Structure 1
């Protein structure tokens, strides 16, 4: 007859009874080991050396933010240099020459090349108008004046093409260069540019005034040969 207190026929060891032969007692946790209780999480892994846990982690050991840099701070855009228009950068970081300085350079060069020729022309014209044998001498003076004026003009073009500066440009502190390379354009291109100045005289000399509002401060001749005038 079974035990009424053990309906399934399983005997529990009484007080002080040991489990039967071949049965192992339940394993006990090792020395110093704690079993996590209900709802407890195992301990989290400690952060590495130099790392701070939690919100807003600090940079690792030895890492500092750059000098003058703040988190999330952006540098303001670079302002164009004086004389430059936004969106155009002069080759080599130079500054475009102002219209007034260019006019001053032309005026100085005109005096250098035109003054001797003009003086000889008016003298020759006055002598030639007197008639007689002196008229031939007056015509000769006029021719000499034209040759001197033309020679001085070519010499100024040579200086402008090889160095980028005539005497007038040098006095005004400006220089003619290629818009692509930033270097002088050579005598041939300087001569071609001088011829192209005829386009600046069309439509009431509008091309000579074009640098006042142009992005690259170019005349029509400058646009044809792709040149710019910069501060030296």
Structure 2
């Protein structure tokens, strides 16, 4: 149990990937705080013993701070944060909307920044932050501009914060997945070979490692997790 005695907060915890991560963290002995903008998970039982913090707008600094204060009050501390909260829009620039760019920034980058800021006053030296970026942000394809730009921002946040927290021994890393095997992606790409995609459980395993003591020498890393795409 690599995370026994640790309290980990997970944003976007009510989604497919978030739920898989929560379950694996619990299996590794962590106490888990599950945060999401949705008021309640679709399957509450899937989150096991995790405390649930629904209805939280992480794009609002005050709401984020209040949520993390409540988590620390409930658990007696905080040792790590996993930023999964986000969203996706496919839209080409010609004929597209500027609002899409703002939405992707709000969902993918602003939430991560706010969660990090809210957590930092509680994280001890040696704490952990893991962000979910995107391999598609390394080189954007058609229709991927707004999404890729926001996820590129997550990469730059990861690098900058890693440098800023080195003296405290807090590591900050990001995983860059390709296509994740979710019901939504299967519906959008019915003819694709989903066996080549990244499984949520595989990302959860990588997150556990980055949260563990074994990863103490790794910070500022942008780690591709691309399956066989």
If the TM-score is normalised by the length of the shorter chain, which range does it land in? under 0.3
Larger radius of gyration: 1
